[in-house]
Structure 1
Amino acid sequence: MKTTTQLFKIFAFTLIVAWPAFSQKKKIKEVTAATKPNIVLILADDLGFSDIGSYGSEIQTPNLDKLAHEGFRLRQFYNNAICAPTRASLLSGQYQHTAGMGYFNINLGTPAYQGYLSKQTVSLAEVLKDAGYSTLLSGKWHVGDDSTTQWPRKRGFQHSYGNIGGASDYFVIKQLPKNKRSFFVKDDKIVHPDDEDNFYYTDEITKNAIGFLKDQREEKKPFFLYLAYTSPHWPLQALPQDIKKYEGKYDIGWDSLRILRFKRQQELNILGKDQKISVKNSDLPAWNSLTYDEQKLWARKMEVYAAQVDNLDQNIGRVVEHLRESGQLDNTIILFISDNGAAGEDVAHGFGGRAARNWGPVGTAGSYDSYTRNWAYASNTPLKSFKGFQYEGGISSPFIARFPSKITAGGLVDGTAHLIDIAPTLYELAGAKYPQNYNGNIIKPLAGESLVPLLFGKDWSRAKPIFWERAGNKAVRKGKWKLVSVRNDRWELYDIESDRGETNNIIAQNQQIADELKTLYDAWAKSVEVEDWKEIGKGKGFEPSFNP
Structure 2
Amino acid sequence: MRAIRSALRLSARKRRLCGGSAIAALLAPTFVLAETAPADPLAGKVGRTVQVTHAPAWPAQPQAPKGAPNVLVILTDDVGFGVTSAFGGPVPTATFDALAQTGLRYNRFNTTALCSPTRASLLTGRLPQNVDMGNVTNLPTGFDGYTTVIPQSAATVAEVLKENGFNTAMFGKSHLTPEWQTSAAGPFDQWPTGLGFEYFYGFLSADTSMWQPSIVENTLPVEPPHDDPNYFFEKDMADHAIKWMRTQQAAAPDKPFFMYYAPGIAHTPHHAPKEWLEKFRGKFDQGWDKLREETFARQKRMGIIPANSRLSPRPATLPAWDSLNADQKKLYSRLMEAYAASVSYSDHQTGRLIEAIRETGELDNTLIIYIQGDNGSSAEGGPEGLLYEQSTITGRKETMAEKLSHIDDIGGPKLYNHFPAAWAWATNSPFPWWKQVASQAGGVRNGMVVSWPKRITERGVIRSQYAHVSDIAPTVLDAVGIKSPDLIKGIRQKPVDGISLAYTFQQGSAPSARRMQIYEMMENFGIYKDGWMAGTLPKRAAWEAGAAGDRKLSVGPDEREWSLFNLDADFTTAKDLAKQNPAKLKEMQDLFWAEAARNNILPIHDYSQGTEGRPSLGAYRSSFTYRPGTATIAEDAAPHTIGKSFRIDADVTAGSSTNGVMIAQGGRFGGYSFYLKDGRPTFHYNAVGADAFTVAAGSALAEGKHTLSAEFTADKTVPGTPGTLTLYVDGKAVGSSRLGRTVAGWMSHTEGLDVGLDRISAVSPDYSVQDSAFTGEIDEVRVSIK
Q: How far off is 1:433 after superposition?
A: 2.8
Deviations 1:400-459 (A, max 9, x none): 000112211112021110011111111011112322222343211110111101122252
Task: Return the structure number with greater relative CO, CA threshold 8 A, min gap 6.
Answer: 1
Question: Is 1:426–2:459 an aligned residue pair?
Answer: no
Q: How far off is 1:330 after superposition?
A: 0.6
What is the aligned partner in structure 1 of residue 158 from structure 2? 125
Q: How far off is 1:499 after superposition?
A: 2.2
Which structure carries more strand by proportion?
Answer: 2
Asked if the contact 2:332/2:420 (under 8 Å) is kept, the reply is no
| Inter-partner Cα distance in structure 2 for 1:196 and 1:252 | 37
Asked if the contact 2:520/2:526 (under 8 Å) is kept, the reply is yes
| Inter-partner Cα distance in structure 2 for 1:213 and 1:478 | 41
Deviations 1:488-517 (A, max 9, x none): 522211111232332221123322322222
Deviations 1:85-108 (A, max 9, x none): 111101110101111111221331
Q: How far off is 1:522 after superposition?
A: 1.4
Question: Is 1:186–2:221 an aligned residue pair?
Answer: no
What is the aligned partner in structure 1 of residue 21 from structure 2? none
How much is the aligned-residue C-alpha RMSD, in angstroms? 2.2
What is the aligned partner in structure 1 of residue 351 from structure 2? 317
Q: TM-score, normalised by structure 1?
A: 0.88
Q: How far off is 1:532 after superposition?
A: 2.5
Asked if the contact 2:142/2:610 (under 8 Å) is kept, the reply is no
| Inter-partner Cα distance in structure 2 for 1:59 and 1:354 | 32
Q: How far off is 1:536 after superposition?
A: 6.5
Would the alpha carbon gap of residues 192 and 533 (structure 1) be closer, same or farther in structure 2, given more than 3 Å must change? Answer: same
Q: How far off is 1:188 after superposition?
A: 1.4
What is the aligned partner in structure 2 of residue 114 from structure 1? 147
Deviations 1:96-136 (A, max 9, x none): 11111112213311341111322220101101111211101
Question: Is 1:405–2:435 an aligned residue pair?
Answer: no
What is the aligned partner in structure 2 of residue 10 from structure 1? none
Question: Is 1:382–2:422 an aligned residue pair?
Answer: no
Q: How far off is 1:196 after superposition?
A: 4.0
Letter in 1 for 2:441: E
Structure label with greater radius of gyration: 2
Question: Is 1:34–2:85 an aligned residue pair?
Answer: no
| Inter-partner Cα distance in structure 2 for 1:475 and 1:535 | 16
| Inter-partner Cα distance in structure 1 for 2:335 and 2:411 | 8
Question: Is 1:98–2:147 an aligned residue pair?
Answer: no
Asked if the contact 2:141/2:610 (under 8 Å) is kept, the reply is no
Question: Is 1:292–2:326 an aligned residue pair?
Answer: yes
| Inter-partner Cα distance in structure 1 for 2:131 and 2:86 | 32
What is the aligned partner in structure 1 of residue 600 from structure 2? 529
| Inter-partner Cα distance in structure 1 for 2:342 and 2:252 | 34
Aligned residues: 503
Asked if the contact 1:425/1:452 (under 8 Å) is kept, the reply is yes
Which structure carries more helix by proportion?
Answer: 1
| Inter-partner Cα distance in structure 2 for 1:536 and 1:372 | 24
- Percent sequence identity over matched residues? 31
What is the aligned partner in structure 2 of residue 20 from structure 1? none
Letter in 1 for 2:470: I
What is the aligned partner in structure 2 of residue 5 from structure 1? none
Equivalent of 1:164 in 174, 181, 204: 204
Deviations 1:142-197 (A, max 9, x none): 1114232211111110011000011110112xxxxxxxxx4111121110112542
Asked if the contact 1:103/1:471 (under 8 Å) is kept, the reply is yes
Q: How far off is 1:232 after superposition?
A: 0.7
Question: Is 1:474–2:525 an aligned residue pair?
Answer: yes
Equivalent of 2:268 in 229, 234, 237: 234
| Inter-partner Cα distance in structure 2 for 1:126 and 1:255 | 45
Letter in 2 for 1:533: I
Equivalent of 1:491 in 546, 550, 562: 562
Q: TM-score, normalised by structure 2?
A: 0.62
Deviations 1:257-303 (A, max 9, x none): 11111111011001111111121111211111111121111110111
Equivalent of 1:519 in 578, 582, 590: 590
Question: Is 1:210–2:242 an aligned residue pair?
Answer: yes
Question: Is 1:259–2:293 an aligned residue pair?
Answer: yes
Asked if the contact 1:354/1:368 (under 8 Å) is kept, the reply is no
| Inter-partner Cα distance in structure 2 for 1:375 and 1:222 | 41
What is the aligned partner in structure 1 of residue 394 from structure 2? 353
What is the aligned partner in structure 1 of residue 51 from structure 2? none
Would the alpha carbon gap of residues 43 and 534 (structure 1) be closer, same or farther in structure 2, given more than 3 Å must change? Answer: closer
| Inter-partner Cα distance in structure 2 for 1:72 and 1:363 | 33
Aligned partner of residue 475 in structure 2, secondary structure: helix
Aligned partner of residue 200 in structure 2, secondary structure: strand
| Inter-partner Cα distance in structure 2 for 1:287 and 1:511 | 36
Structure 2 residues not aligned, in runs of 5+: 1-63, 540-558, 615-743, 746-786
Letter in 1 for 2:304: I
Structure 1 residues not aligned, in runs of 5+: 1-31, 173-181, 544-548
Aligned partner of residue 41 in structure 1, secondary structure: strand
What is the aligned partner in structure 1 of residue 513 from structure 2? 462
- More deviation in 530-539 or 239-248? 530-539
| Inter-partner Cα distance in structure 2 for 1:292 and 1:130 | 59
Question: Is 1:451–2:492 an aligned residue pair?
Answer: no
| Inter-partner Cα distance in structure 2 for 1:110 and 1:515 | 27
Question: Is 1:340–2:371 an aligned residue pair?
Answer: no
Question: Is 1:135–2:168 an aligned residue pair?
Answer: yes
| Inter-partner Cα distance in structure 2 for 1:315 and 1:329 | 17
Q: How far off is 1:35 after superposition?
A: 1.2
| Inter-partner Cα distance in structure 2 for 1:302 and 1:354 | 23
| Inter-partner Cα distance in structure 2 for 1:369 and 1:438 | 43
Letter in 1 for 2:222: V
Asked if the contact 2:193/2:218 (under 8 Å) is kept, the reply is yes
Would the alpha carbon gap of residues 409 and 33 (structure 1) be closer, same or farther in structure 2, given more than 3 Å must change? Answer: farther
- More deviation in 460-469 or 391-400? 460-469
| Inter-partner Cα distance in structure 1 for 2:332 and 2:571 | 28
Q: How far off is 1:460 after superposition?
A: 3.9
Aligned partner of residue 580 in structure 2, secondary structure: coil
Asked if the contact 2:114/2:135 (under 8 Å) is kept, the reply is no
Letter in 2 for 1:465: M
| Inter-partner Cα distance in structure 2 for 1:282 and 1:471 | 21
Letter in 1 for 2:577: I
Q: How far off is 1:62 after superposition?
A: 1.4
| Inter-partner Cα distance in structure 2 for 1:522 and 1:211 | 49
Would the alpha carbon gap of residues 159 and 536 (structure 1) be closer, same or farther in structure 2, given more than 3 Å must change? Answer: closer
Aligned partner of residue 119 in structure 2, secondary structure: helix
Deviations 1:326-378 (A, max 9, x none): 11111101111120000001253741138699895211101112003111111
Letter in 2 for 1:402: S
Q: How far off is 1:247 after superposition?
A: 0.5
What is the aligned partner in structure 2 of residue 69 from structure 1? 101
Would the alpha carbon gap of residues 484 and 61 (structure 1) be closer, same or farther in structure 2, given more than 3 Å must change? Answer: same
Equivalent of 1:198 in 218, 224, 230: 230
